[in-house]
Amino acid sequence: MDNKETYLQIFMEKERVAAYKEQTIDVLVRVVPPAVSAESGERPKLNIGIALDRSGSMDGNKMRQAREAAKYCVDELLPTDTFSAVIFDGKVDVLFTNQPATNKEMLKRGIDRIEARGSTALHQGWVQAGLQVSERLSGGGIDRVLLITDGQANVGETRTDRIVQQAKDLAERGISTSTIGIGRGFNEDLLLPMAEAGQGNAWFVEAPQDMVRIFETELKGLVAQVGHTVTLGVTPAPGVKVEDMLNDFENDASGRYILPNLRAGSPLDVLVRLKIPAGEVGEALSAANFELRYTEQATQKLVTVTAKAEVAYVTAAAVAELRTNDEVLTTVTLLTNARARKEAMEYMDEGEFDDAASILRMVATATDDAFAVTPSAELKQEIEAVRDLNRLIADRSNDMLTRKRMSYERDLRRKSR
């Protein structure tokens, strides 16, 4: 069914719960944005500012692919969109001030002239790209900086927490940030949190030839954006407690979970673990209320959507007969695996590679088990990904790549992407 409005769908771990005991239940809250495709509707106006690293390490194939990707971006823009580009090494140059994407050939010729050299003033490059974007705010469209780098911030502001905070501050002022890390030498502990705080996407380009595909995905995501500044409030009933939220989304100051931007046709799964009190057979409990709040892209109006998680108590024997919901099982597995990746990364950082490998082996077993119960496409894909990670960590041939894969896979799973 093609919906016009975003709605919430609630899946309970089991349709009923056992009476006379306190217990923990998993509730899947699926945020379903409208399924309209970007082509059929009017897409939001884009105001894109590229911050492209041209430090020495970008030389060769990486720079060639980055240029191609930037040119692809220019080609995809409409004359009503605006485009700007800054390039940075030790210093920052504005290649194109913010301008309507009308003279595309001129823009592409300029991009072709970018050569690699020098060190990496990542922060200043990002700030300057933001300034260019701020010159012509789209007013209801999407204003975004795309930061493309293969290196570590080593000139100017280099403190990760500061830069991440600034990306958050800027997003709150209307300009979001996506980051694209190329190769193995960049700092994923900066680029991932920066994109999350900046309400954009984080991309990992393992091979330079993936660059254009990543740009394509980013742009598709932008034109499909239907809501931003998205939060979910969970209000448990008296006696019910929120034990966990498996996506590990951060809370805002009022305790609401901060969710990624909503994209048409891309549901977002949030898994909440509730502790519920004992009840009598036949009793029903409205365990928790969920309230989604976001700013609608098209109108810039605040939208609120609500749903309830309801449980009915039956005998333990009756519950034993019931099957665990497939959607819940798949989501729990993917999110638990996301957490396990983080744990494995922490072991790697401490040099405990055996422990990291052992966690990944457990992840593999758990995923196989879940697949045996629910042979879903997502779990099949996860089995492949985990198998790759196990191989990488076992032969220790490229620890930096392994860590980056784990970071980005964790991020994608948390956000159902």
Measured from the CB atom, the residue of 40 and 254 that comes closer to another protein is 254
Q: Does 267 bind another protein (CB under 8 A)?
A: no
Sole binder of another protein in the list 57, 119, 124, 149 (CB under 8 A): 124
Element (H, E) at 142: strand 142-149
Measured from the CB atom, the residue of 87 and 212 that comes closer to another protein is 87
CA 30, CA 15: separation in Å to the nearest integer?
Answer: 16
Structure letter (DSSP) for residue 229: E
Measured from the CB atom, the residue of 150 and 196 that comes closer to another protein is 196
Shortest approach of another protein to residue 124 CB, angstroms? 8
CA 211, CA 232: separation in Å to the nearest integer?
Answer: 33
Measured from the CB atom, the residue of 137 and 383 that comes closer to another protein is 137
CA 141, CA 298: separation in Å to the nearest integer?
Answer: 8
Applying CB under 8 A, the span of 127-135, 336-344, 371-379, 392-400 interacting with another protein comes to 127-135
- Rounded to 5°, the CA angle 289-294-299 comes to 140
Residue 181 β-bridge partners: 149, 204
Listing DSSP states for 297-335 in one string gives: TTT--EEEEEEEEEEEEE-HHHHHTSPPPHHHHHHHHHH
Sole binder of another protein in the list 15, 112, 172, 248 (CB under 8 A): 172
Total binding residues for another protein by CB under 8 A? Answer: 32
CA 295, CA 277: separation in Å to the nearest integer?
Answer: 35
CA 63, CA 343: separation in Å to the nearest integer?
Answer: 34
β strands within 216-358, DSSP E: 225-236, 241-245, 257-259, 262-263, 268-276, 284-296, 302-314
Shortest approach of another protein to residue 76 CB, angstroms? 22
Measured from the CB atom, the residue of 173 and 391 that comes closer to another protein is 173
Shortest approach of another protein to residue 231 CB, angstroms? 8
Q: Does 375 bind another protein (CB under 8 A)?
A: no
Q: Does 242 bind another protein (CB under 8 A)?
A: no
CA 35, CA 94: separation in Å to the nearest integer?
Answer: 38
Shortest approach of another protein to residue 95 CB, angstroms? 18
Q: How far is CA 239 from CA 236, 274, 275, 334, 372, in A?
A: 8, 10, 8, 29, 35
CB atoms within 10 A of CB 320: 9
Measured from the CB atom, the residue of 173 and 417 that comes closer to another protein is 173
Q: Does 175 bind another protein (CB under 8 A)?
A: yes
CB-CB contact of 407 with 188 (8 Å): yes
Residue 175 β-bridge partners: 143
Q: Does 170 bind another protein (CB under 8 A)?
A: yes
Q: How far is CA 333 from CA 32, 243, 369, 391, in A?
A: 20, 17, 10, 20
Measured from the CB atom, the residue of 117 and 173 that comes closer to another protein is 173
Q: Does 25 bind another protein (CB under 8 A)?
A: no
Residues with Cβ within 8 Å of 389's Cβ and at least 6 positions away in sequence, in order, are 341, 344, 360, 402, 405, 406, 409
Measured from the CB atom, the residue of 252 and 346 that comes closer to another protein is 252
Measured from the CB atom, the residue of 74 and 133 that comes closer to another protein is 133
Sole binder of another protein in the list 33, 156, 227, 236 (CB under 8 A): 156
Applying CB under 8 A, the span of 2-10, 24-32, 69-77, 246-254 interacting with another protein comes to 246-254
Applying CB under 8 A, the span of 20-28, 100-108, 168-176, 208-216 interacting with another protein comes to 168-176
Q: Does 301 bind another protein (CB under 8 A)?
A: yes
Applying CB under 8 A, the span of 186-194, 215-223, 251-259, 355-363 interacting with another protein comes to 251-259
Q: Does 174 bind another protein (CB under 8 A)?
A: yes
Interface residue list for another protein (CB under 8 A) = 124, 127, 130-131, 133-135, 137-140, 143, 156-157, 166, 169-170, 172-175, 229, 251-254, 256, 258, 295, 300-302
